[in-house]
Amino acid sequence: MSKAAAHEPRSEQQVAHERAMTEVADVLLNVEHAIARAKKATKRLGDAPEEHNAKLALSDALERLEAARRRLQKDAYFGTGELRLV
């Protein structure tokens, strides 16, 4: 056992949990970044047919990304501790 490990007040399970939740936070940050980029792209698109199609696709992507963000925040940070089967 190293000196650092001997003075670590957290258990290995706590450290593993914190690392896992850091990964979740990173995913959430990436989702939020994708939402911001999709909104920015939507504003920049014009009225050409292919741009109109891109706007429709971005609108759909925004809905799904925002739903994913809400669920991730709710389940990861505000969950009741109950296991979800879906």
CB atoms near residue 20 (< 10 Å): 11
In the Cβ-directed half-sphere of 17, how many Cα atoms lie within 13 Å? 7
pLDDT one-digit tens code per residue, 11-28: 999 999 899 999 999 999
pLDDT one-digit tens code per residue, 42-75: 999 999 999 999 999 999 999 999 999 999 999 9
DSSP per position, 17-54: HHHHHHHHHHHHHHHHHHHHHHHHHHHH--SSHHHHHH
- Largest separation between any pair of C-alpha atoms in the chain: 65
Cα of 80 vs its chain's centroid, Å: 19
